[in-house]
Amino acid sequence: MNAFRLLASLAAAAALAATTAACSAASLGTAIADGRPAASASAQPSQPADPGQVKEVHSPSRVTVDEQLPAGHCRARAVDAAAGKYLPDHACTPGAVDPAVTQATIDSTICRAGYTGSVRPSSAAMAQVKAESLRDYGQSASATTEYDHLVSLELGGANSVSNLWPEPNRAGATGTTNPKDAVENALHRAVCAHTVTLAAAQTAIAHDWTTALHVLGL
């Protein structure tokens, strides 16, 4: 009888230990899913976004670091290097828009004088994330490289790492002015004139700014 009781006690203890381990594992899984990994877990870079998947990020006057990419992981693509036409790596820079800027609010946001200045982060804040993005893209600092919003602020673009990239310029350029600036201005005029929808302009410039005007018939 004593032996039987001993075996029963051992079986109960084993069952309790298994249940406790399962609960601990479940708790750890929840902590990691909630963004609070255990202290012993090493931080891992976030994975690149899905190409072509424009995100929504509300971050006026500050830069949201919504991606952490390995150094040298990204590559800008030259469409016409002599003309300064480069595209970002869409797996790293898919683009992001501010959900507060909609078709219904353009007259009080992007089409209002002074809007971009009211939401643009400080130079110091931009410089901090620009240095990291240069490493992500395997580029060296240059006075002609613009840390550019893929979807521009004047089109409701977001201040987020997923929407910012170090845009190379043409050979011989003396500053950061590049061909994309003219495309952004033309799209902004069309959106504010209500000849092109905000969503169409955002999608076109995020996909390929070099073809955006042609795609939209401008």
Q: State residue 163's pLDDT score.
A: 98
Q: Which amino acid is at 77?
A: R
Q: State residue 115's pLDDT score.
A: 98
Which tens digits make up the pLDDT trace of 3-24?
A: 434 334 444 444 444 444 433 3
- Rounded CA-CA distance 164/150 in Å is 6
**DSSP class of 46:** P
130: which 2 tokens? 């620009």
For residue 7, what are the CA distances in angstroms to 11, 12, 19, 198? 6, 9, 19, 73
- Distance from first CA to last CA of the chain, Å, rounded? 92
- Binning pLDDT at 50, 70 and 90, where does residue 40 land? very low
Q: State residue 50's pLDDT score.
A: 53
Which tens digits make up the pLDDT trace of 168-183?
A: 999 889 999 999 999 9
Reduce the DSSP state of residue 183 to 3 states and report it. Answer: helix
Q: State residue 109's pLDDT score.
A: 98
Which tens digits make up the pLDDT trace of 73-120?
A: 999 999 999 999 999 999 999 999 999 999 999 999 999 999 999 999
Q: State residue 53's pLDDT score.
A: 77
Q: State residue 30's pLDDT score.
A: 23
pTM higher than the cut 0.85: no
**DSSP class of 147:** E
Q: Which residues of 33-69 are buried (b: 16+ CB within 10 A; e: fewer)?
A: eeeeeeeeeeeeeeebbeeeebbebebeeebbebbeb
Which tens digits make up the pLDDT trace of 126-181?
A: 999 999 999 999 999 999 999 999 999 999 999 999 999 999 999 889 999 999 99
Q: Which amino acid is at 86?
A: Y
Sign of the CA dihedral running 102, 106, 108, 111: positive
